[in-house]
Structure 1
Amino acid sequence: MKVSLITVVYNAGGTLARCIDSVISQNHPDIEYIIIDGGSTDGSLQIIDQYRDFLSVIISEPDKGIYDAMNKGIMRATGDIVGTLNADDALADSDVLAAVVRSFELQNADVVYGNLNVIGPQGNINRRWISKQCVRNSFNWGFMPPHPTFYCKRELFGKYGFYSLEFGSAADYELMLRFMYKHDVKGYFLNKVLVSMLAGGVSNSSLKNRIKAWNFDLKAMRHNHIKIPVLTVVLKPLRKLHQFLKLKA
């Protein structure tokens, strides 16, 4: 199976080479690597140019944000499977994409997701996001897969749509709800760390942004007919507490 992997870049010169290196070191033989740059001015384009021979598609132009850029990449993808890898993040080891493909093939899945580590600037692990195999009702209790580990069959975008910009920072959550809850596609949990994700994020950078993110979450839940959305929006962040407990264990 061919994997299309999309990295969205905007002024990520400090982490981009690490991200790309983690992709080109994969042992899966059929990878289409797509980079969508939003018009970086910090040297990211020069880094991208150094890896040109390893890249299938390079686009650099203004966009409407990360999810608009992801949609651009998806529209150009030709693989059987599509995933995304943020420019600040890296695949956890060289077997990640091969393991994902094996899961699709053996489980006849529409979606595969796994675990991730949240790391600090020095590479120390701040949190371990250990996921689980979910059933459709899990989403009513605040469950969501780690989006950086989320891979799906490309055909799902044609059937059910792309990332919707009307949900702001919750566009990834809304898409997973739409695919896995509303349309009940077959998901499979791969119990393996797939991504090392750099700590941070705009939605958690201030109380104002956190409240805004909660509103987007609530909008996504109502749009996809979660049973008790107000309860679910409270449970969703509480589910992250176990990530810190697992780190101390």
Structure 2
Amino acid sequence: MNIKFSIITCTFNAENYLQNCINSVKMQGYTNFEYILIDGGSKDRTLSIIEHNLDVINKYVSEPDNGIYNAWNKGLKLARGEWIMFLGADDELLPNTLSKYHNFLIHKDESILDYVSGKVIFESVLGKKRRTIGKLWRWDIFRKYMNVAHVASLHSSKFFEKYGYFNESFKIVGDYELLLRAGGNLQAAFVDSELALMRDGGVSNNPKKVFIETFKAKRLQKSRSYILCVYDLIIAWVKFSLKFLK
């Protein structure tokens, strides 16, 4: 079995980290993948970097977009892989990530799996490892908050056929809302290994907006009652405040 992966990276003025991201894809030992770059009309050296890496980049688009989920949806329309991965322009795959996924999947019944995730190293902008995130998906936890690491995780192409593309009204937690659509029926698996590196920064570091959008996603997909969503919101804010005060 030779599984094909589609890797989608969205960029906008990403010259500082993009080459490292591309290099991490180039260095994968597993080669049956396509790499898709969706640029939002960058004004820095992003396009030049893309054009100098067409040996690994199969398809790219550069035009204004309406945010990350609009860009990811553009990438989905171009993707032809059986499994689809989203990798930020400032993120990196760790060595042999695709091989690890391949070796994991060939021992599973792919026809019933929707989603596969692993562990992600969360690193500061100065390159210091802060923590490792990502756990086994469990509906009793996921319905409250996102406990899986979405960076470099895999989505079956059939999942999008069944549940649709990203909801572009979300700006931060559209990945969470997407997976919530399957509810407790999501067929998820977990690779107990560090697979990618994620850097601190970006809109996801705005806790107020994250908490509010998470509330909206849960209510939209009815994963929790209104009262329980309010409770989850309060608990999340209290935990964040206590951590910040330490």
Task: Give the TM-score band, short-chain normalised.
Answer: 0.7 to 0.9
The alpha-carbon deviation at position 105 of structure 1 amounts to: 2.6
Match of 2:106 in 1: 105
Deviations 1:34-69 (A, max 9, x none): 000111111010011110121110111111011100
Residue 174 of structure 2 is aligned to residue 177 of structure 1: no
Which position in structure 1 is the counterpart of 2:233? 233
Structure 2: segments with no counterpart, 5+ residues: 242-246
For the pair 1:161 / 2:167, whether they are aligned, the reply is: no
- Which residue number in structure 2 is paired with residue 77 of structure 1? 79
Match of residue 123 from structure 2: 119
Q: What's the CA shift for 1:74?
A: 0.7
**Match of residue 4, structure 2, among 2, 5, 28:** 2
RMSD: 2.1
Shift of 1:106: 1.7
Deviation of 1:73 after TM superposition, in Å, equals: 0.4
Distance 2:6 2:155 in 1: 10
**1:212 paired residue among 209, 214, 221:** 209
Partner SS state of residue 106, structure 2: helix
For 1:152 and 1:238, the matched residues in 2 are separated by 33
* Separation in 2, partners of 1:234, 1:200: 24
Residues 10 and 44 in structure 1, CA contact (< 8 A), matched pair in contact too: yes
Identity %: 33
Number of residues of Structure 1 aligned to a counterpart in Structure 2: 234
Provide TM-score, normalisation by structure 1. 0.87
Please state whether the residue corresponding to 1:167 is helix, strand or coil.
coil
The runs of 5 or more residues in structure 1 that have no matched partner are: 242-249
Superposed CA deviations along residues 2-58 of structure 1, whole A, max 9, x for unmatched, are: 000000010000100000000011111201000001111110100111101211101
Q: How far apart, CA to CA, are the structure 2 residues paired with 1:91 and 1:2?
A: 16
Q: Is the 8 A contact 1:2 1:30 kept in 2?
A: yes
Match of 1:245 in 2: none
The answer as to whether partners of 2:135 and 2:147 remain within 8 angstroms in 1 is no
- Measured against aligned partners, the alpha-carbon deviations of 1:108-141 in whole angstroms (never above 9, x if no partner) come to 2321001111112332202221x32233222234
